[in-house]
Amino acid sequence: MSFSFISQLFFCFTVFIYFVSLRVESWGTPIIPISSLVTKSLYDTIFLHKDDTACPAKNFYPYQSFIKASKYFPQFGTTGCLATRKREIAAFLAQISHETTGGWETAPDGPFSWGLCFKEEISPQSNYCDSTNNDWPCFEDKSYKGRGPIQLSWNYNYGPAGKALGFDGLKNPEIVSNNSVIAFKTALWFWMTERKPTPSCHNVMVGKYVATKVDIAANRTAGFGLVTNIINGGLECGIPNDERVNDRIGFFKRYTKLFNVDTGPNLDCAYQKSL
């Protein structure tokens, strides 16, 4: 352990104790609301180009929709010490940015200023219907293509997301690209939900993930890379220098800098077995 790691741990702990001592009477309620960690001005700096005419999602992802949706998941961005909270939020915003990016190598302000540019998949390869899934049967004429900040896809995700959030995901998947609060809620639902044996992205980023022997043998230790593994490891992990993984990391680095927090270890999943 390096000195900086220990001192950071100590700092985190001190800050944590400070806030606990201030608010002991309100255990369980968010000590710092999301909106004070992600102000409108920070949000607009992070998503610098989301309302460009070049972006198909122009005006679809306003700040208030993100804040509204996050209140539905009171543990998001409110767990752990201040640095942990910022890092979790930065990781979430980075992952949804990669999923919806309109950036390219030489884009104005760099490729990592173009998150939230798309709200739905433009040329889907299929309707993303897994017809072998009997729990969440598809409607014949519906497409379960990528929609919203996390690009929710497949009937087996639309069904449970809708059930958890109060809409019919199988009958009305389009609502995810028509209602921005619901769109953000689906992304946060994906982020917060554990699908055993796969951990939730949230638990990984707040230090509640405990690696099993199998995980350790697969190099799946906590960090941003493991979140990438949860989201799309089957296609992106276990491959050295994958450009999609690097794009996710690029967003995360820019955002952690804006949040003034370090990235933590294990940024990529190049040497992880996919989940």
Ligand X SMILES: *[C@@H]1O[C@H](CO)[C@@H](O)[C@H](O)[C@H]1NC(C)=O
Residues 145-174 that bind ligand X (CB under 6 A): 172, 174
**Type and span of the H or E element at 262:** none
Based on CB atoms, which residue is closest to ligand X, 87 or 142? Answer: 142
Residues 183-242 that bind ligand X (CB under 6 A): 218-219
Residues 107-136 that bind ligand X (CB under 6 A): none
Least distance CB 218 / ligand X (angstroms): 5
Based on CB atoms, which residue is closest to ligand X, 90 or 161? Answer: 161
- Going by C-alpha positions, the residue among 34, 42, 38 that lies closest to residue 79 is 34
How many Cα atoms sit within 13 Å of 144 on the Cβ side? 23
Candidates 55, 57, 89, 175; binder of ligand X (CB under 6 A) is: 175
Strand partners, 198: 195
Residue 99 known to be catalytic: yes
Least distance CB 174 / ligand X (angstroms): 4
Marked catalytic residue, from 88, 99, 120, 236: 99
Interaction mask 255-274, ligand X, x per CB under 6 A? ----------------x-x-
DSSP conformation letters of 213-253: HHHHHTT--SSHHHHHHHHHHHHHTTSTT-HHHHHHHHHHH
Helix residue spans in 145-212 (DSSP H): 155-165, 180-192, 201-205
Burial class (CB in 10 A: 0-12, 13-18, 19+), 24: exposed
- Going by C-alpha positions, the residue among 185, 187, 182 that lies closest to residue 97 is 187
Q: Which structure tokens are listed for 190? A: 């994906």
Q: Which structure tokens are listed for 23? A: 């608010």
Least distance CB 172 / ligand X (angstroms): 6
Based on CB atoms, which residue is closest to ligand X, 83 or 165? Answer: 165
Least distance CB 57 / ligand X (angstroms): 10
Question: In angstroms, rounded to a whole number, what is the distance separating the alpha carbons of residues 63 and 73?
Answer: 16
Least distance CB 82 / ligand X (angstroms): 31
Residues marked active site are found at 99
The residues that touch ligand X, with contacts defined as CB under 6 A, are 172, 174-175, 178, 218-219, 271, 273
